[in-house]
Homo-oligomer: A and B are copies of this chain.
Amino acid sequence: MSSIEIGRGKRARTAYSFDDIAVAPSRRTRNPDEVSTEWRIDAYRFDTPILAAPMDSVVSPASAAELSRLGVLAVLNVEGLWTRYADPEPILEQIRHLPEDQAIAELQRLYGAAPVDPELIAQRVGELREGGGTVAVAVSPQHAGALAPAAVAAGTELLVIRGTTVSAEHVSGDGDPLNLKTFIYDLDVPVIVGACSTYQAALHLMRTGAAGVLVGFGGGAAHTTSDVLGIRVPMATAVAEVAEARRDYLDESQGRYVHVIADGSVGSSGDLVKALACGADAAMIGSVFARATDSPGQGVHWGAEAWHPSLPRGERKVLGTVGTLAEILHGPSHTADGSANIVGALRKAMATTGYSDLKEFQRIEVITSPE
């Protein structure tokens, strides 16, 4: 990346967000029905390169079943409401109707009042299995050691270890709390881990044996990391950097292809297109699904960072609904803002620019604009 001088003795890299770039048509076009959006990771195959984010506004056992049916890999957060409450529906209802100015404090109270119940983990995994799709759950790096084995024993097929920033080189005075390499090796299921946002961090995560890495900074449409922490991860650059780490690791490992999954800032079908164009194999999506009438959020969206007990870094956002999960994924759409028929839009973008599968599409030309 290009680097500029902020002042004598301090340089900065220039980094680009999805808003800064766009995909450019090339000289060929193609029929949308001859385009494949198929995505495979490990033994699993999906009709779309989309994961539903482990957020309580997005994935419940019920929405996971519907999302799977629609071609999406839905990931349940086993540290959220579904493992804290035997019946979280009244809590979800309450959160959806919280007044704006009390939302964060109430989220802190509602999540803080009930600790994660390991027995509920097993129960929820069972419900996911009954739902019929690939069973995937997410744990935080802090609690992976304690919670993941139970989740796997209950039938989890894909484990996601997801934190704001997960590094394979965590420095700790009292011993490394999670040796990722050993941990992943010992598990019987493929692991997706992240987020990371740089070439180096990604390369180290890939060497832990992960099947995929999340790129981003953990937050979603509702995060406020820049204001709170001063940290910003412009996603176009982050995805491109990690995609390059994937290529280099592929060579270094003599053939292990680690999937790059954009996690954050994918808030419309246009963003999904851009994430893939920057080199992502798939994207983890939150807010887009929270706008479904049949999602747990029902138009209201929040992430784990919003209920951090002492340092919340996200908000509960009232986004409104745009249709069913089926309409959001495959249409028909009745809006023009990239909030529905996102797979149709991806297909159209690929066809319009002349690409037939996602791997090819990663090579598409990108433009940036001064505005």
Contacts and interface: CB of A to CB of B under 8 A. Distances in A.
Interface in A275-317: 277-279, 305-306, 309-315
State which size class the interface on A falls in. Answer: 35 or more
A43 interface: no
Interface stretch (A53-61, A144-152, A363-371): A363-371
A217 interface: yes
Contact of A27 (B17, B169, B311, B336): B169
Nearest to A223: B336
A324 interface: no
A97 interface: no
Interface in A160-205: 164-174, 177, 196-201, 204
B228 A338 contact: yes
Contact of A22 (B34, B198, B232, B277): B232
B9 A247 contact: yes
A271 B230 contact: yes
Interface of A: 1-2, 4-31, 34, 104-105, 108, 164-174, 177, 196-201, 204, 217, 224, 226-234, 236-241, 243-244, 247, 268-274, 277-279, 305-306, 309-315, 331-338, 341, 344-345, 348-349, 352-354, 356, 365-371
6 contacts: A11-B366, A23-B229, A23-B230, A227-B270, A228-B336, A315-B336
